[in-house]
Amino acid sequence: MGDSITLTDNRTGTTVTVPIEADDTIPSSALRQLDPNLRVYDPSFVSTASCASRITYVDGQQGVLRYRGYPIEQLAERSSYLEVAYLLIHGELPSAEELVTWRHEITVHTYVHENVKHFMQQFQYDAHPMGMLVSTVAALSTFYPEAKYIFDAEVRHKQIVRLIAKMPTLAAFAHRFSVGMPFVYPDNDLDYATNFLSMMWRVGVPAYEADPVLARALDVLFILHADHEQNCSTTAMRTVGSSHADPYSATAAAAAALYGPLHGGANEAVIRMLGRIASVEAVPAFLETVKRGEGRLMGFGHRVYKHYDPRASIVKQTADDVFAAVGTNPLLDVALALEEAALADDYFVERQLYPNVDFYSGLIYQAMGFPLEMFTVLFAIPRTAGWLAHWVELLGDREQRIARPRQRYTGAGERPYLPAGERGTGEAPDATLPPTAAAPAEARPRRL
């Protein structure tokens, strides 16, 4: 029988044998052959491969990450973010000529319509920049209505260029708005990362001189964050894209998924956690609270990596360069002590919890002067290329249909509707909601 699995439906005695593919997958069609009504119950897709993809390879046991076959370590050392974005989307590294054209296309699309600026200026004064980014990316679909013609290759390419080009502009505008500074327009003489730094930090001078060490560090972080196969936000991109929505709407959905603290929000959560721990001496007591289930060790653990996240190693090296240029982050010692203690602790060892990409990236962003609220935005900028690569792949995949999982219904059986006066008064607590700590008072501003 070789590498195969045989399933027997003991109700009927029907047997189906299917091959186990080289990548350890079996087709779900085997179940349909047994009984078309059978479903796999797989909450959160822990054992489900939802698509075939040629973009990114992750081996979680060995700590391997490759984009289109190229090891992340080589790309981080030798490539640039725009070159990697091209690789992800087109499948091959660009020739010298293609790279020049690609850079030019991105550079001349960095400006946004003035009404996009006005739109952003209407947010509440203390709006979170990630919320602004999600909303403004969605709003771009109203500026480019032709984007809905997703099967027109030229239209598709134009929106891809626009999204990659405008993300840093929107991100910097969101920051400038939150600190009450005038928006700085793109400077098309600058490279991608330096242009973003210029839009973030330039104050009343004709040109912005970026420290090349910081610009390179940012570009490396962009490379590391550019794609990571079927994570939560990429799955959101593919799910929304599968309904043939335009790429701005799909990218906004992906960015919204990234916003959560279990995904792209983790880098912000790490710094808040390190700030609360505050000292090396407080690390053991903090780890005990994690082990008692009173919160997670943010920046640790991963659904796929059961080993050191290869991105985390590169981020750690990049941190050294940045700290040498701008001085160290006082929270670094706490982070190092936390990592050492966790890696020696049975709780984390048994669960194979290692630092992930977010454990050290926030420390770099903070040392570079980015406010905490910008950290997830800094993740969204480069991940846009990955989301778009998956969107293009999805559209060309003949096996893909609209994403539409099934469910196990566990609710009430049929019951008659009663007028309000005849219903019981006792509240039916929803047993599925976990107990959560009350939000702090400062998180609930008094508003109309």
225 catalytic residue (yes or no): no
Nearer to ligand CMC, 241 or 265 (CB): 265
Number of residues that bind ligand CMC (CB under 6 A): 19
- Record the tokens describing residue 71, joined without a space: 């090891």
Strand 56-59's sheet: what is its strand order?
Answer: 56-59, 64-67, 70-71
Stretch that binds ligand CMC, among 2-10, 112-120, 353-361, 409-417 (CB under 6 A): 353-361
How far, in whole angstroms, is CA 314 from its chain's centroid? Answer: 18
Provide the pairing of β-strand 64-67 with 70-71.
Answer: antiparallel
Determine the 3-state secondary structure of 58 from DSSP.
strand
Shortest distance, position 235 Cβ to ligand CMC, whole Å:
11
Candidates 2-10, 56-64, 154-162, 263-271: pick the segment binding ligand CMC (CB under 6 A).
Answer: 263-271
Q: Which of 230, 231, 329, 366 binds ligand CMC (CB under 6 A)?
A: 231
d(CA 283, CA 313): 22
Considering only residues 275 through 314, tell me which ones interact with ligand CMC, judged by CB under 6 A.
290, 296-303
The residue from 9, 90, 187, 263 that is catalytic is 263
For residue 217, report the phi and psi dihedrals to the nearest 5 degrees: -60, -40
Residue 118 annotated among the catalytic residues of the structure: no
The residue among 257, 132, 108 whose CA lies nearest residue 190 is: 108
The half-sphere exposure of 117 on its side-chain side, counting CA atoms within 13 A, is 13
Q: Is 223 exposed, middle or buried (0-12, 13-18, 19+ CB in 10 A)?
A: buried
Asked if 223 touches ligand CMC (CB under 6 A), the answer is no
- Residue least distant from ligand CMC (Cβ): 301
Active site residue 59: no
State yes or no: residue 227 binds ligand CMC (CB under 6 A): no
Catalytically annotated residue among 175, 225, 358, 390: 358
Catalytic residue among 225, 302, 309, 390: 302
* Least distance in angstroms from the C-beta of 328 to ligand CMC: 22
| SS3 sequence of 347-407 | HHHHCCCCECCHHHHHHHHHHCCCCHHHHHHHHHHHHHHHHHHHHHHHHCCCCCCCCCCCC
Among 42, 45, 351, 369, the residue binding ligand CMC under the rule CB under 6 A is: 351
For the bound state, the minimum distance from the C-beta of residue 229 to ligand CMC, rounded and expressed in Å, comes to 11
CB of 336 to ligand CMC, least distance (A): 17
Provide the minimum distance between the beta carbon of 353 and ligand CMC in the complex, in angstroms, as a whole number.
Answer: 5
The set of catalytic residues is: 263, 302, 358
Task: Please give the residue ranges that form the binding site for ligand CMC (CB under 6 A).
Answer: 231, 262-264, 266, 290, 296-303, 351, 353, 356-358
